[in-house]
Amino acid sequence: MITNTSMNWMRRTKIIATLGPATDEPAALRSVLEAGVDVVRLNFSHGTPEQHLRRANLVRQFAEELGRHIGILVDLQGPKIRIARFSGDRKIQLEPGAPFAIDPALPADSGDDTQVGCCYEELPTDVKAGDSLLLNDGLIELEVESVKGSRVACRVVIGGELSNHKGINKKGGGLSASALTDKDRADILTAVEIGADYLAISFPRTADDVREARSLLRKAGGDAAIVSKIERAEALHPGVIEEIIDVSDAIMVARGDLGVEIGDAQLPWVQKQLIGMARARNRVVITATQMMESMIQNPQPTRAEVFDVANAVIDGTDAVMLSAETASGRFPDRAVAAMDRVCLEAEKHPRARQSDHRIDEHFHRIDEAIAMSAMYAANHTKVCAIGALTETGSTPLWMSRISSGIPIFALTPHERTCRKVALFRGVYPISFHHDTSDHAELNRAIVEQLMALGVAKPDDLVILTKGDLTGVKGGTNAMKIARISEVLAAAPQRSETG
């Protein structure tokens, strides 16, 4: 009836690890998963569909062997606005005050010290004199002096070394490239073939971009949850960001391109706002980009990186993400272990366990009211765990929006739901198969599972939530605060003959 599982239920914040060349050896991938990964990211900006399918299959194989439920997040590339190439594939040095032009009409490999081509034909219509263009993740800044035909004439403000295919951002946002490219549309089909649990949309400008992605995914037969990556300045406009969050299942604070567009100094406060907004609207939130960047080359993180991860945890992020640290770094498993260690320590801070989430609001659904009531009771009663019988994961999601040090166990017969809730802060998936409609027997089965995990003893109190009719989506309508020993006594274990 119950399948055994192993997990680190002590850590509430989830860890996402990006896969890549550094994890392609099976032993390396298994080591990374064993270090504590909850969700893997397949970055479709790199690699082939065949490579991603192989990685996904290995993750599923190892997860089963480890008795774990590990989600898969497919991250679509989105529009990549980049300069073209320099003749001879050389690098150039831009000096402050020097003229430099970007012209989509130039041949792709004809760049020199004064100009370069561009893959984005709409650039001349998206910019005007006085705008600032940022190249190479913001390391180089150009001021637009004039636009004549396809030629965007600029003056170098901040110089530096520039090489082929570096990205272009407009300070303050405003580039009109569509969030979904033809490549993305094709990659959605691959994501469905993989059976992705989450699909991340890059550079959405409005909620319509998210709606379009969901429609394409559903038409392809996929049911992944949609993650909107917040990385455009215009996505932060009042009214726009709220709608993007509302039509998404999760958001990612993608601090790379976002930081380039709005400026690094604004990032910390914007990150805190986005985490708070997502949680208030019952959405999952991921904090990403350069969290332990130095571990690409070094076996230990810097103190600044430790502070960065810890602050995101204290602010309430559901997950923290590793990118190149695990995809191409020298120490992928160490990076996961370091992040695990920092998260565990940060979660001990009292602020990470406090919440006034929706304390003055009315609830519109019975299962939502049960979830909120359970968390209020949990935070004001000495319970050791919450066992939530769930079909879709909605009840554990609502519970997880309220900060608490009490583990929430999502018990479900559906593997898809197990992998989905693996991303929720403080929620731990359990494969739970039951063949009884007797509530006393069902309660006993749940508490036996909690005891088997080592989180509950006979004298402990637990909270159980489920529906009168099990197996019905949205049917959670009951909450029970119970002592383990009393639950066991109320339903003696059935004999093998029935």
Number of residues written out for the chain: 498
Q: How far is CA 349 from CA 8, 152, 352, in A?
A: 19, 51, 6
Long-range Cβ pairs for the range 49-52 (8 Å, 24+): 49/187, 49/190, 49/193, 51/24, 52/190, 52/194
Question: What's the number of CA atoms in the CB half-sphere (13 Å) around residue 386?
Answer: 32
For residues 422 and 60, give the distance between their C-alpha atoms in angstroms, rounded to a whole number: 14
Question: Which residue among the candidates 30, 41, 170, 425 is catalytic per the annotation?
Answer: 41
Terminal C-alpha separation, the chain: 14
Q: 82: which strand partners?
A: 167
**3-class secondary structure per residue, 370-411:** HHHHHHHHHHCCCEEEEEEECCCCHHHHHHHCCCCCCCEEEE
Our answer to whether residue 381 is catalytic in this structure is no
Tell me the C-alpha to C-alpha distance, in Å, between residue 40 and each of 185, 336, 430. Answer: 21, 11, 19
For residue 279, give the nearest of 240, 306, 253 by alpha carbon.
Answer: 253
Catalytic residue among 18, 23, 287, 289: 289
| Given 82, 151, 155, 211, the catalytic residue | 82
What does the block give as tokens for 111?
């760049």
Q: What is the Cα–Cα distance from 485 to 465, expressed in whole angstroms?
A: 18
The token pair at 146 is 């004039």
Burial of 166 (0-12, 13-18, 19+ CB in 10 A): middle
Respond yes or no: is residue 289 known to be catalytic.
Answer: yes
**Which of 30, 171, 214, 229 does the annotation list as catalytic?**
229
Other beta carbons less than 10 A from residue 478's beta carbon: 15
CA-CA distance, 246 to 404, in Å (whole number)? 24
Closest alpha carbon to 135 in 123, 146, 125: 123
Residue 457 is among the residues annotated as catalytic for this protein: no
- Whether 82 sits among the annotated catalytic residues: the reply is yes
By annotation, the residues acting in catalysis are 41, 82, 229, 289
